[in-house]
C-alpha cells in the first residue's frame, strides 16, 4: 500500500499507520483524509490485521489540526460539506470499524487531530502530548465530531470548558479526565501500544468486532444499546470462535481463534 501522506507497516498481525506530513506537523488536509479513508478501509477488510495503531511521524505532533489554508475561504455550504464528508469518510469509519484502532498520541493533538484520536477506540498518550479543540479561536466550531465525542469521553462540563476556552490540556490532565487510557514516555509509546494490541489479539476477533458494535450503539441516536448487545451476544453463539473458546476453557488450554 502506497500513500502520499502515510507510512504503513504490517508486523505480527498489527498494522501501524503513521501520518507523515512532518513539515505541516501532520495537519489533516483533504488528501490525507482521503489516504486514511482508503488505508483504514483496506486494513479493516484484511483478516490478517487484528489491530491498527494510528500515530503521527516525528516527536512533536500526532496531528496538529486541520489544514486551515484549505478552507479559509469556504462558503457556508462548502463548510458544511467539508464536515459531512470528513465525518463520513474517516471519523465514523474508524469509530465503527470491527478492527480495534488504538490512537498513539505522540505530541500535539489539536482540532481535527484530537477529533481523529477520539474516533479511535481508545487512546494512549506520550508524556509530552498536549490536546485541545481550539476551533472557536478561529471563529468556527469543531466539525469532525468533536462536540459529540468529547462530552461522551470526559463529560459535558469539562468538554464545554475545553471547547469554549480553546485551551490545551496536558497528557496527565487528559488521563485524569478519561480522555486517554495511559500516559507513557514517548520512546515507549509504540511498544506500549503493541503490548496492548498483543493482549487484544489473544481474544476472539469476531467477539471483539461485535463488542465494538454494541458499545457504540449506546452513543448512537435511535439505537437501543441493550437490544444491540442481546442481538450480538446471540450471534456469537453461531461462530467457530465461540465453539473454540468454550472448548478451550473446559479443556483448560489456550484458545486458538480464527475470527469465524
Active site residues: 115, 135
Q: Please tell me what DSSP assigns to residue 128.
A: T
CB 45 within 8 A of CB 205: no
Which cell is 70 given?
Answer: 484549505
Which cell is 105 given?
Answer: 498520541
CA–CA dist 232, 251 (Å, integer)? 26
Question: Mutual orientation of helices 205-217 and 240-250 as an angle, nearest 10°?
Answer: 110
Q: Please tell me what DSSP assigns to residue 144.
A: S
Q: Is 12 left (phi over 0), alpha (psi -120 to 50) or beta?
A: left
- Name the β-bridge partners of 15: 10, 52
CA–CA dist 128, 254 (Å, integer)? 38
Starting at the edge strand found earlier in the chain, the sheet holding 6-11 runs: 6-11, 14-19, 51-56, 101-105, 122-126, 182-184
Mapping DSSP to helix (H, G, I), strand (E, B) and coil, where does residue 169 land? strand
CB 89 within 8 A of CB 40: no
Amino acid at each position: 500500500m502506497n500513500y502520499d501522506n502515510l507510512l504503513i507497516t504490517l508486523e505480527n498481525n498489527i498494522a501501524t499507520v503513521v501520518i507523515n506530513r512532518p513539515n505541516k506537523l501532520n495537519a489533516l488536509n483533504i488528501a490525507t483524509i482521503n489516504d486514511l479513508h482508503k488505508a483504514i478501509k483496506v486494513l479493516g477488510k484484511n483478516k490478517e490485521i487484528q489491530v491498527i495503531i494510528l500515530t503521527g511521524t516525528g516527536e512533536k505532533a500526532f496531528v496538529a489540526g486541520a489544514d486551515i489554508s484549505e478552507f479559509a475561504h469556504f462558503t457556508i455550504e462548502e463548510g458544511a460539506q467539508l464536515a459531512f464528508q470528513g465525518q463520513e469518510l474517516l471519523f465514523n469509519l474508524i469509530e465503527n470499524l470491527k478492527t480495534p484502532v488504538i490512537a498513539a498520541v505522540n505530541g500535539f493533538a489539536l482540532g481535527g487531530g484530537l477529533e481523529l484520536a477520539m474516533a479511535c477506540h481508545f487512546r494512549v498518550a506520550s508524556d509530552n502530548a498536549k490536546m485541545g479543540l481550539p476551533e472557536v479561536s478561529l471563529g468556527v466550531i469543531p466539525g469532525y465530531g468533536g462536540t459529540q465525542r468529547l462530552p461522551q469521553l470526559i463529560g459535558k462540563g469539562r468538554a464545554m470548558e475545553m471547547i469554549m476556552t480553546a485551551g490545551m490540556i496536558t497528557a496527565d490532565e487528559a488521563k485524569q479526565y478519561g480522555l486517554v487510557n495511559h500516559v507513557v514516555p514517548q520512546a515507549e509509546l509504540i511498544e506500549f501500544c503493541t503490548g496492548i494490541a498483543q493482549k487484544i489479539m489473544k481474544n476472539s476477533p469476531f467477539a471483539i468486532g461485535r463488542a465494538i458494535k454494541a458499545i457504540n450503539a449506546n452513543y448512537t441516536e435511535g439505537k437501543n444499546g441493550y437490544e444491540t448487545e442481546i442481538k450480538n451476544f446471540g450471534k456469537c453463539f453461531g461462530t467457530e470462535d465461540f465453539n473454540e473458546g468454550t472448548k478451550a476453557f473446559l479443556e483448560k488450554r489456550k484458545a486458538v481463534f480464527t475470527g469465524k
